[in-house]
Chain A
Amino acid sequence: MTGNNAAVTKRQPIRTGSVIRFLFLLVLSISMIYPVLWMLTIALSGSGGMFEVPPEWIPHEFHFNNFIEGAKKVEFGHVFLNSLIISLIVTIGQVVSSLFVGYGIARIPFPGRKLWFYLFIGSMMLPSIVSLIPVFFVFAKIGLYNTWWPILLPAFFGNPFFIFLCRQFYSAVPYSYDEAAKIDGANHLQIMTKVIVPMSIPLVVTMIILSFQGSWNEYLQPLVYLQDQKLWPLSVAVASFSGAYGTTWNHFMAVNLLYMLPLLILFFAAQKYFMQGLGSLNNSGLK
């Protein structure tokens, strides 16, 4: 088929084309999320439910009790609270510190800012395990092993990716805003908190979401630093539960779902920002 033919014939089959595309996407998306739906099936079925051949897609009776039984096994309330506290503090730390650094690099013309910007971006390339081991021993030496401090403290020293996002965003804001504020007698701290940051609420929300998500999912750091089960966040507790599953897959899947739940709620509540924030990445590509 030549190019001309395609251009002429392309308008007529648009309906069937759309239908095919719709059905294709439907099948594909169902197969994508099928494991999650299946997980729900197991979480609701009795202890022998998943051994049945052929497997039951909808259990004939719902065992909501699995959620309670599973939650008891991992002391869910306690571990959930641990995760929540850690994630909230990490989020505040990362977002606030990155806003400062990003503003400084983008809006204050000081010597060496380009160098620091490249150093920050460059450090994104460093595998996190490079810093993990040497830093582990510093924290252990000052007596912070088996506490939350090694997980919480680093958050207050900026996140390279967020610094990058802030810098890209703030570099695009016209300088006339700063000048107008300066004439009114504002200093940089005031310009940042009263003018620039309020202009970038979508950016801030995006960072909050990404930071909370990242911290909620973090596994390696708590695994390395926290020996005491009482201090564990959900990630480590769930992983250790999976090692000891035995025959209680249904309890385990119920807990797994409970672990996912806050992120699911966050995702659906803040969908717009998820899509926007990541979309804005394109305009800030590595140029």
Chain B
Amino acid sequence: MKKSFWQKDGVIGYMFILPGVIGFLFFVAYPLLSSIYFSMTKWSGFDTPKFIGLKNFKYMFTMDPTFWPGLRATILYAVISVPLGLVLGLALAMLLNRSLPGIKIFRTLFYLPVVLPIVATSTLWLFVYEPQFGLANNVLKAIGLHPVEWLTDSRTALMSLMVIALWGVGSNMIIFLGGLQSVPSDVYEAAEIDGASKFRAFFSVTIPLITPTLFLQLITGMIGAFQTFVQPSILTKDGGPDFSTMLLNFSIYKNAFQGQDFGYAIAQVWVLFVLIILFTIIAFKSSSSFVYYENDSR
């Protein structure tokens, strides 16, 4: 029996994935390819883009006073807050992995900040950091320390944004919990019989077995951190003191939709994109030395 055209796997397969294919072509391929051209234009958004070669990039690297501080802030934000979030998330997951009264409530409380809308939590933190009567300074005063200008001091502004990111450590915690629970208990029993201390078992058994989870979170965490937008836009509106919180993604938004300088914004988009690819490649290259897969046959 010969199948008709509409019954062939190839045709049916593509019909099923058609939404994804269209989405890929329009929301990924087209923007990527067209933005190579747009990055080399002067374009206000209303006029026709005018080709100017590499001038946008030249301006970015040599003239724009916001670019280098912003790039520095973007990289610092990602390479500090993401690993710190992983360590804290794992520590919390370890604490919450064994039974204890109210363990479910604890897990829920730690996960709660992750669920809340980021606009709502950012505005909440705006108030926490308020210098006169904000919560952060109330705590400092209560323990006898000097109040701090959290968001308007270039030494603390970026750190203040990182604290908000770490407040969402529950998302790391919950994924690590899943990872810890998938470690079979007989491995620990074997380690105990071999006389391994808890400390030793943690580094020799637990850590190796959850490295795939760790790695997955490192990659997704980095990609997410490089795209931070809401926090600087709500908390430090103009990129903070001395552009100390001028994160790239926010700077792109400002140049495009507030400055009407779309060509330049797209040039910055390329810098962000290359940055993400670079960090991902570094992570993947180094992963072979620390990520352990149980069935390495793939």
Contact = CB atoms under 8 A, between A and B. Distances in A.
How many chain B residues sit at the interface, stated as a range, is 35 or more
Contact of B227 (A3, A116, A128, A137): A128
B21 A116 contact: yes
B125 A35 contact: yes
A156 B23 CA distance: 8
A219 interface: yes
A258 to B, nearest CB: 10
Given A271-B108, A275-B174, A131 B27 contact: yes
B30 A134 contact: yes
A114 B174 CA distance: 30
B150 interface: no
A36 B112 contact: yes
Contacts of A50: 133
A198 B68 CA distance: 52
Interface SS of chain A: helix, strand, loop or mixed?
A: helix
Interface in A140-194: 154, 156-158, 163, 187-188
B17 A116 contact: yes
Nearest to B112: A33
A25 B117 contact: no
Interface residues of A, number: 98
B115 A264 contact: yes
Interface stretch (A60-68, A72-80, A103-111, A199-207): A103-111
A50 B124 CA distance: 14
Given A55-B138, A157-B19, A256-B120, A125 B276 contact: yes
B30 A100 contact: no
B257 A224 contact: yes
A33 B113 contact: yes
Nearest to A126: B28
A97 B23 CA distance: 10
A110 B11 CA distance: 8
A256 B124 contact: yes
A259 B230 CA distance: 16
Given A108-B13, A109-B9, A29 B110 contact: yes
B162 interface: no
Contacts of A157: 19-20, 22-23, 26-27
13 contacts: A7-B192, A33-B109, A101-B17, A103-B16, A104-B17, A110-B11, A125-B276, A129-B227, A133-B31, A133-B262, A238-B117, A256-B124, A264-B116
Closest 6 CB pairs between A and B? Answer: A104-B16, A110-B13, A157-B23, A279-B178, A101-B20, A3-B197
